[in-house]
Amino acid sequence: MKHPLLLLIFLSSLSLIAQVEYDHGKLKVSSGGHYLQCEDGTPFFWLGDTGWELFHRLTREEAVFYLQTRKEQGFNVIQAVLLSEFDGLNTPNAYGMTPLFNNDPMRLNLDTTRPNGYGYWDHVDFIINKAAELGMYIALLPCWGEYVIPREGRAIINTEIQAYAYGNLVGKRYSRQKNIIWVLGGDRLPDERANGIALERALAKGIADGVNGVNDINGTTDYSTTLMTYHCFASSSIWFQNDPWLDINMWSSFHSDYSITRAFEQSYADWTLPNPKPELNGEPAYEEHPVNWLDHNGEFNAYDVRQIAYWSVFAGACGHTYGCNAVWQFYDSTRDRINFVHTPWRQALKDEGASQLKFLKALIESRPMLERVPDQSLIVKGEGEGSNHCVGTRGRSYFFVYVPTGYTLTVRLGRISGDSITAWWFNPRNGESTEIGQYKNSGEIEFTPPGISKELQWLRTGRGCDWILVGDDVKAAFGKPGNLQ
């Protein structure tokens, strides 16, 4: 066996196949419009990672290691790009192959004559199939936004015919894959180019027709067979809220500052839209990323990751995407880098924030998810501003309040069912829960977070001292928050 490591990785992955989340049927929008669920009604909480350069920079062995690590950390969606940002057209992938003939979006490079036999698209197929074996979705960008909406003069898709044709090719190629979520855009606003919106619509139409085995740019398109969203800074709802191809609204809080309040402001704004769609923060501040892209400003850490994630989800998002500065670009000493990255990607995979978001997923999944709504009326005093802002959310028989900096707050009871509630503190750093006590479910009550231990001193307030207050209808008997056993 020339590659014993590959065999070992393959055999170990077989034990995980039974965990495939899409065994519950096709992923779709929930009946209420705000969340995702499977065909059998099982709720789906999107926990994504930005692995933008996955297909372009990694070998097969590296890709398997990356996917397995993220699977173990609770991630179920990987955002990756077919025509990648780092000169994905002209700089070959790990096996010396490029994706297109002569950079023509209407001609995929299907050459497999290299000595290893790994064509560009065969390599993509391998990674998508490996993700499927692990029960993970690929949120698949047909191309980085630059190739449609240019800021650097690198556009290759300039007409609706080209957009439709390329979309049709990739849609047809992955028509049988159960683990694809299509993501248009890629860091570009569609109206930056005069015909940008039309190009994106043609691309979406081409993808759906390709999935359906149709090639007719002037025909009627069935979008029920695809799940699509659009990635950029602003919310896709601005341009595409009423488009039939758009199923999920995506927006990004990005990397400009600490405590980016847009993380809850944009989430709630999309929640309140008429004819709502699921929405999520598709690119938050990355762990280890320099604040506002300036090295002397310091870097975002695990606390920033948690704060933005809980803010976004509690304000209405159907899930959340994580990012790490080293991992999205798969940096090591042999590769070009941007944004002052310094940690090799394999080491950065173990960053604290990446390991802590599974506790958010577990918390949401430990209570009825599809009935959850944002509700700031839970907070009577101590709502806070800026970095101190608390965000409340509830179902019929439970509530959560995220307290980002550990300050005392007064909560209004009676917003959920039951004569009495059980209150808990949920620790987002380790997923542990501590019961506070039982209370009559009426009136107002003050709660003070317990603080955290650091360097033998008890810290109660400030950066890093975040907690989640949980209240349950006693009769619901949910058990510990975040405990899925």
CB 58 within 8 A of CB 330: yes
Cα–Cα distances in Å, from 86 out to 80, 217, 357? 13, 30, 28
For the chain, how big is the Rg over CA atoms in Å? 23
**What's the maximum distance between 2 C-alpha atoms anywhere in the chain?**
73
At CA 263, angle to CA 396 and CA 459, rounded to 5?
A: 85
Give start and end residues of each alpha helix (H) in 322-472: 325-328, 345-348, 352-365
Q: What is the pLDDT of residues 153-162, one digit of tens each?
A: 999 999 999 9
Overall average pLDDT of the 57-63 stretch: 97
Q: What is the pLDDT of residues 288-315, one digit of tens each?
A: 999 999 999 999 999 999 999 999 999 9
pLDDT at 22: 64
* Structure-token pair, residue 371: 């009935």
Is 375-476 in the same CATH topology as 16-365? no
Q: For the whole model, what pTM was predicted? A: 0.94
Percent of the chain clearing pLDDT 70 (strictly above): 94
Three-state DSSP class for residue 407: coil
Among 3-12, 14-23, 192-201, 462-471, the range scoring the smallest mean pLDDT is 3-12
Question: pLDDT value at position 113?
Answer: 79
pLDDT at residue 102, as a whole number: 97
List, edge to edge, every strand of the sheet that includes 420-426.
373-374, 391-394, 398-403, 467-473, 420-426, 433-440
DSSP 359: H
Stated length of the chain? 485
Q: Are 348 and 326 in contact (CB under 8 A)?
A: yes
Residues sharing a CB contact under 8 Å with residue 469, sequence separation 6 or more, in sequence order: 399, 400, 401, 403, 409, 411, 423, 424, 425, 426, 447, 449
Is it the case that residue 254 has pLDDT exceeding 70?
A: yes
Share in percent of the chain as helix, strand, coil (round to 5): 30, 20, 50
Secondary structure of residue 168 in the 3-state scheme: helix
Confidence grade of residue 143 (pLDDT, cut at 50, 70, 90) = very high
Q: What are phi and psi of 65, to 5 degrees?
A: -60, -45
- Mean pLDDT computed over every residue of the chain: 93
Per-position b or e across 176-215, b if 16+ CB within 10 A of its CB: ebebbbbbbbbbbbbeebebbbebbbbbbbbbbbbbbebe
Into which CATH architecture does domain 16-365 fall? Alpha-Beta Barrel (3.20)
Q: What is the pLDDT of residue 162?
A: 98
Which structure tokens are listed for 111? 């050459």
pLDDT digits (tens, 9 = 90+) for 264-275: 999 999 999 999
pLDDT tens per residue, range 277-288 = 999 999 999 999
Phi-psi region at 447: left, alpha or beta (left = phi > 0; alpha = psi -120 to 50):
beta
Q: Where are the domains of the chain?
A: 16-365, 375-476
Per-position DSSP letters for 204-261, written without gaps between them? HHHHHHHHTT---TTS----TT--EEEESSS-THHHHTT-TT--SEEE---SSSSS-T
CA distance 252 to 289: 15
At residue 385, does pLDDT exceed 50?
yes
Percent of the chain exceeding pLDDT 90 equals 89
CA-based nearest residue to 230, from 257, 212, 208, 248:
248
φ and ψ at 420, to 5 degrees? Answer: -145, 155
pLDDT exceeds cutoff 80 at 19: no
Q: DSSP labels for 121-167? A: HHHHHHHHHHHHHTT-EEEEESS-GGGTS-SSS-----SHHHHHHHH
pLDDT beyond 90 at 15: no
How confident is the model over 427-453, as pLDDT tens digits? 999 999 999 999 999 999 999 999 875
Separation CA 198–CA 357 (nearest Å) = 37
22-28 mean pLDDT: 88
Task: Please check whether residue 183 is in contact with residue 250, taking contact to mean a CB–CB distance below 8 angstroms.
Answer: yes
Question: Please, which pLDDT band fits residue 23 given cuts at 50, 70 and 90?
Answer: confident
Amino acid 13: pLDDT: 38
Identify the pLDDT of residue 21: 60
* Residue 455 scores a pLDDT above 90: no
Least confident of 19-33, 50-64, 311-325, 367-381: 19-33
pLDDT given for residue 2 in this prediction: 40
Is residue 211 pLDDT above 70, yes or no? yes
Domain 375-476 class in CATH: mainly beta
Q: Would you state the pLDDT for residue 3?
A: 44
Strand pairing report for 457-459 and 137-141: unpaired
Give the residue-averaged pLDDT of 128-140: 98
Residue 310, pLDDT score: 98
**Environment class of residue 365 by beta-carbon count within 10 Å: exposed (0-12), middle (13-18) or buried (19+)?**
middle
Statement: residue 222 has pLDDT above 80: yes
What does the pLDDT average to over 11-20? 38
Q: How many CB atoms lie within 10 A of CB 290?
A: 18
Structure tokens belonging to residue 202: 């043609």
Residue whose structure tokens are 């398109």 = 221
Coil, strand or helix at 468: strand
Residue keyed to tokens 């001609």: 107
